Structure 1
Amino acid sequence: MVGLTTHILDLTHGTPAAGVDIQLMRIVDSTHTLLKTSITNEDGRLNEPLLSGEEMVVGEYELLFFIGDYFRGMEVTLSEPAFLNKISVRFGISDVDSHYHVPLLVSPWGYQVYRGS
């Protein structure tokens, strides 16, 4: 599989994070260009890759996860402003013939991200 995918696991509830808004941006010379918006499904994944085929271009990208809205929707009491409201993950794509998977493990107080498979 070639392309860019992501998924989110809610460590507070021990479940996939469904209904999280995500934005994908490309960064060129400090300018952010919005490429796509999407929402995670019941499995905490997207129904289609964020990038695939010819959309895969070498460069710097940013995923923005609207995690504060998600936890508010799950009726988790958050401080205002929330400690983690939007999580930004910047990463590079250097090989357009590879699969880039960016999983997010999250709670209201911390997160971990890595390049998955």
Structure 2
Amino acid sequence: MAGKLTTHVLDTSRGIPGSNMKVELYVIQEEHGLERAVLIDKGVTNTDGRMDTPFLEDQLIVGIYELRFYVGAYYETFLVKSGIRSIWDVIPLRFEIVNIDEHYHVPLLVAPGGYSTYRGS
């Protein structure tokens, strides 16, 4: 069974899934000692804060990857009305895939003043 990459966004400030958030996936390549981020997939979270399909399903390759979560645009849709502003624009989460047969789950828990992540299951 081949591995896959999934993500999930939870808006901890409101206790709900982070829906309709743009997420991009990059592979990090090194050329002549310089890093380069190459966009390989993108999408928008659904009403459950998840992507409709996994990233890299059956296409995992060992390497360094980065998920970019566009939380600034997400919060702009409702926080301006409440007077609360988030300091976050884009949150990058960089991780390494070392086993192409595993399921890598990288969730983001986000609020206007902080965020956290962990290796999920």
Q: TM-score range by the shorter chain?
A: over 0.9
- Structure 1 runs of 4+ off > 3 angstroms? none
1:33-44 to 2 correspondences below 5 Å? 33-44=38-49
Give the C-alpha shift of residue 99 in structure 1: 0.1
Could you give the per-residue CA deviations for residues 3-49 of structure 1, whole angstroms, max 9, x where no partner exists? 00000000111000100000000001111110011000000001000
| Counterpart in the other structure of 1:111 | 115
Aligned AA (1:34): L
Bigger radius of gyration among the two: 2
| Counterpart in the other structure of 1:56 | 60
Percent identical pairs in the alignment equals 42
Partners of 1:101 and 1:45 in 2: how far apart?
11
Q: Classify the secondary structure of the residue corresponding to 2:79.
A: coil
| Counterpart in the other structure of 1:26 | 27
| Counterpart in the other structure of 1:16 | 17
Give the alignment's Cα RMSD to 1 decimal.
1.2
TM-score, normalization by structure 2: 0.89
Kindly tell me the number of residue pairs found equivalent between the two proteins. 113
Partners of 2:13 and 2:78 in 1: how far apart?
10
Partners of 2:36 and 2:89 in 1: how far apart?
22
Aligned AA (1:21): K
Any gaps of 5 or more consecutive residues in structure 1?
none
Give the C-alpha shift of residue 75 in structure 1: 3.0
Q: Classify the secondary structure of the residue corresponding to 2:72.
A: helix
| Counterpart in the other structure of 2:91 | 87
Give the C-alpha shift of residue 83 in structure 1: 1.5
Partners of 1:19 and 1:115 in 2: how far apart?
22
Any gaps of 5 or more consecutive residues in structure 2?
none
Partners of 1:110 and 1:75 in 2: how far apart?
15
Give the C-alpha shift of residue 108 in structure 1: 1.0
Partners of 2:71 and 2:49 in 1: how far apart?
12
TM-score, normalization by structure 1: 0.92
| Counterpart in the other structure of 1:101 | 105
